[in-house]
Amino acid sequence: MSVIMNGESFFSGLANNCRSNPNWASVNKRIFRGLDFLVSVANDDFHTYLTLTEPVSGIIEDRPDFSNVDGAIGIWGSRYTKNLVGKRLNGNTLQQLVDGQYTGNLQFCSALDPGGAYSCN
């Protein structure tokens, strides 16, 4: 399973989010301090189990049994969660954030670019 977001969707979504809150309309600057990601993954058996145990939305309430343990009922699976904090943007992406079509008029600057072209000085 993967999630891919293209740049245009990222920047237009960010711009719409900033514009949708009236309290954020008159800010002097928006300081970019990095992106945070929460990545949660699990094996296919765990995904199958979660899918089969979702709430029933139809008339039929019978659920198939699911087990990946021989001679028993249960599930043996794995999952992992990783929190990635403060990831930087590359130069081109930072330029789009500060000067781009969607977010160029939203006063973004970068705390991660001290003395650079996009610094918050």
Mind listing the pLDDT tens digit for each residue in 83-111?
Answer: 999 999 999 999 999 999 999 999 999 99
How many domains does one find in the chain?
2
Kindly report the pTM of this predicted structure: 0.69
Judge whether 78 and 45 are in contact, CB under 8 Å: no
Cβ 86 vs Cβ 36: under 8 Å: yes
Asked if residue 77 and residue 46 are part of one domain, the reply reads: yes
Per-residue pLDDT at 24 exceeds 90: no
Claim to verify: residue 3 and residue 13 sit in the same structural domain? yes
Residues 12 and 23 in one domain: yes
* Same domain (yes/no): 67, 83: yes
> What are the tens digits of pLDDT across the range 47-88?
888 888 777 777 777 777 778 888 887 888 888 999 999 999
Location of structure tokens 């293209």: 6
80 and 112 belong to one structural domain? no
Torsion of CA 81, 56, 76, 4, to 10 degrees: -40
Q: 83 and 45 in one domain?
A: yes
How many whole angstroms separate alpha carbon 20 and alpha carbon 107? 16
Range of the domain at 18: 1-34+89-121
